[in-house]
Amino acid sequence: MAPRRSRYSRLRLEDYLAALGLFLVAVVALAVLGRGGATGRAASLRCDTTPQLAVHYHAHLDLFYAGRMVPIPGQVGVVQGCRYWLHTYSADGILHVQGPAAVASRQFTMGDFFWVWGQPLTSRQVATLKVGRGQQLKAWLDGRPYTADVAGLVLRPRDEVVLEEGPPFVPPPHFDWSSASARQETARVP
């Protein structure tokens, strides 16, 4: 006959298992909802299965590291069966902002895009590019220096954003929205 556990030891085991379960639920919730430290605001971005075009505009992003262009991948925010309100189709740096009418007054930010991309955006790191000793991050908005927090940079129609880690630094390029490829890319409707 197996020894009987006392009522006290059963309660302690049940309490331990309940606490462990709550801890695991909290860890999973933070991992899923937090997506690597995203704010509640960024975590509210949705991936919709139907096209959302009540809000529809485009911005452009260029990344440079030590004077060399680093491409923004295509298909950021395009997941099998759905699209996030911020996404790319091609590796041309055009950011598509497409959302429902309910978010018409929302200001989408560069930090929101990097959250969807699953990459960090801080003063010390842009995606996989870490700012090393003797380097700095410079940001440009429509050809002018942008000195505020780059994650909070609000994306507006046809904004041209350049993020550079260096030195060396290159003059921020101008994106030609009237080019055939830009017109074709911005005409895409999912």
Q: Does 134 lie in the same domain as 60?
A: yes
Question: Is 39 within a domain?
Answer: no
Contacts of residue 106, defined as CB under 8 A and 6 or more positions apart, other chains included, come to: 55, 99
User: So what's the pLDDT on residue 61?
Assistant: 98
Q: How many CA atoms lie within 13 A of 77 on its CB side?
A: 28
- φ, ψ of residue 147 to 5 degrees: the values are -105, -5
Q: Domain limits at 96?
A: 47-186
Q: Does 8 lie in the same domain as 100?
A: no
Provide the domain count of the chain: 2
Q: Which of 95, 1, 11, 89 has its CA nearest to residue 56?
A: 95
Q: Does 146 lie in the same domain as 99?
A: yes
When mean pLDDT is compared across 30-39, 46-55, 69-78, 81-90, the lowest value belongs to: 30-39
User: So what's the pLDDT on residue 187?
Assistant: 82
What value does the mean pLDDT take over residues 54-77?
Answer: 96
Is the pLDDT at 36 greater than 50? The verdict is no
What value does the mean pLDDT take over residues 73-102?
Answer: 95
Q: Does 159 lie in the same domain as 92?
A: yes
Q: Does 11 lie in the same domain as 100?
A: no
- φ, ψ of residue 62 to 5 degrees: the values are -115, 135
115 class by beta-carbon count within 10 Å (0-12 exposed, 13-18 middle, 19+ buried): buried
Question: Is 42 within a domain?
Answer: no
Q: Does 166 lie in the same domain as 83?
A: yes
What value does the mean pLDDT take over residues 94-109?
Answer: 95
Q: Is 12 helix (H, G, I), strand (E, B) or coil?
A: helix
